Amino acid sequence: EQAAKWVPKLRSMGADVVIVSAHSGSSGTSSWGDQLPYVENAAALVAEQVPGIDAILVGHAHVEIAEHFVTNKET
């Protein structure tokens, strides 16, 4: 929800590029199973659902994640 709030604001302020840095993985799952009320590793979901993001840098997986392209559902 923070990305959905801030990305449009940054674009309206004239940002040419928006890069998100997130303490998150990209798998769309949680290492805690169903114990959390939200998806822990949501970077790919954010990329799919929030238009206007050019790149997301993640750092939660503790393993190397190969370059991964995600198409935004709105663009």
Distance linking the first and last C-alpha atoms of the chain: 18
Range of the domain at 7: 2-58
CB atoms within 10 A of CB 14: 6
- Determine how β-strand 19-22 pairs with β-strand 55-58: parallel
42 within domain boundaries: yes
CB of 52 within 8 A of CB of 11? yes
Secondary structure (3-state) at 32? coil
Question: What's the predicted TM-score (pTM) here?
Answer: 0.69
73 within domain boundaries: no
In this prediction, residue 28 carries a pLDDT of 55
Q: Is the pLDDT of residue 71 over 60?
A: yes
74 within domain boundaries: no
- The string of pLDDT tens digits covering residues 12-70 is 999 999 999 987 766 555 565 565 445 556 788 888 889 999 998 887 666 676 777 77
Number of domains in the chain: 1
